[in-house]
Amino acid sequence: MSNSLFQLVPNFGDTSETLRKAVEQMKDKYYHRGMRRKLVAQLRQKGIKNEHVLEAIGRVPRHFFLDNAFEELAYEDQALPIGEEQTISQPYTVAFQTELLDVQKGHRVLEIGTGSGYQASILAALGAEVYSIERQENLYWRTKELFRKMQVNNVRLYLGDGYEGLPKYAPFDKIIVTAGAITVPETLQEQLLIGGTMVVPVGRPTQQMYRVVRITETEFYSQVYGEFRFVPFEKGVKKRK
Ligand code: SAH
């Protein structure tokens, strides 16, 4: 894996003092790895079967994506606040969506709702070429800076309204929406390759997980999975104050 996020003794090119300090705080210690192993065992018990997905969760340090105050909780199977009234999804939800998406190495994957960047990193760890859109400028810049420090180079971040997708880079093998939509977003399904899959939670106040496969230019096949609770999929870009 050329991606230094996963080299546990990172070699960060930038020598500036602030950056060095920030990076030093992102230590991945034995006990973090131990907690990740327990989390993986829990996810397995809860029904996650895809070994690649489990392995990615075992490898990506979730505590890097959270405020220090949540370090102890980072490997509990729960959603946690990331600011701007948003949350990092529960690990089970991340695993469930990623498993449904069936990501293969080299797939071009569009994620809607970058948030902390954790889900995008799991996709990157699976070898995908990730494009991720966030509508909140504060979160966009924070995650961009985090990825720069971690030298994550197979995730491209965009500030924009995810409802529009990324027509310039379409079609995608896979699309994952990590906020609760009201209906299956049509603009997004149009950006799928034929044979491509979109995983999107749909409904209010809770969501059913939809898996939509594009069968032909005009036909889509969808199946519905369990119930989840996401933050809402909202329109427009929210600028920094
Ligand atoms: N995948 C994220 C989950 C973050 S919660 C993670 O791993 O941390 C969902 C995110 O979707 C929030 O950051 C929210 O701001 C964002 N979001 C909601 N509506 C959006 C839209 N229309 N376009 C892009 N991002 C959106």
- Interval 63-121: pLDDT, tens: 999 999 999 899 999 999 999 999 999 999 999 999 999 999 999 999 999 999 999 99
89 is catalytic: yes
pLDDT exceeds cutoff 90 at 219: yes
Are the C-beta atoms of 106 and 123 separated by less than 8 Å? no
pLDDT exceeds cutoff 70 at 9: no
Is residue 115 lining ligand 1, measured as CB closer than 6 Å?
yes
* Token reading at 95: 């695993």
Q: What 3-state class would DSSP assign to 81?
A: strand
Give CA–CA dist 121/53, Å, rounded. Answer: 12
Residue nearest atom 13 in ligand 1 by C-alpha distance: 115
- What is the pLDDT confidence band of residue 239, given thresholds at 50, 70 and 90? very high
Q: Please report the pLDDT score of residue 17 as a whole number.
A: 54
Q: Which of 1-10, 40-49, 93-102 has the lowest mean pLDDT?
A: 1-10
CA angle 135, 114, 90 (to 5 degrees): 125
Taking the model in full, what pTM does it have? 0.92
pLDDT exceeds cutoff 60 at 4: no
Which run of H or of E encompasses 196?
strand 192-202
- Tell which atom from ligand 1 comes closest to the C-alpha of 179: 9
Percent of the chain whose predicted confidence (pLDDT) is above 70: 90
Is residue 207 lining ligand 1, measured as CB closer than 6 Å?
no
pLDDT exceeds cutoff 70 at 14: no
Residue 134's closest CA among 231, 212, 69, 211? 231
CA 41 to centroid of ligand 1, rounded, Å: 27
CA 16 to centroid of ligand 1, rounded, Å: 31
DSSP 8-state symbol, 238: B
Q: Please report the pLDDT score of residue 240 as a whole number.
A: 85
Q: Please report the pLDDT score of residue 16 as a whole number.
A: 47
In the sheet that holds 155-159, the strands lie side by side as 155-159, 129-134, 108-112, 172-177, 192-202, 207-214, 220-228
Q: Please report the pLDDT score of residue 6 as a whole number.
A: 44
CA 190 to centroid of ligand 1, rounded, Å: 20
Q: Please report the pLDDT score of residue 11 as a whole number.
A: 32
Is residue 166 lining ligand 1, measured as CB closer than 6 Å?
no
Question: Residue range 175-201: average pLDDT?
Answer: 98
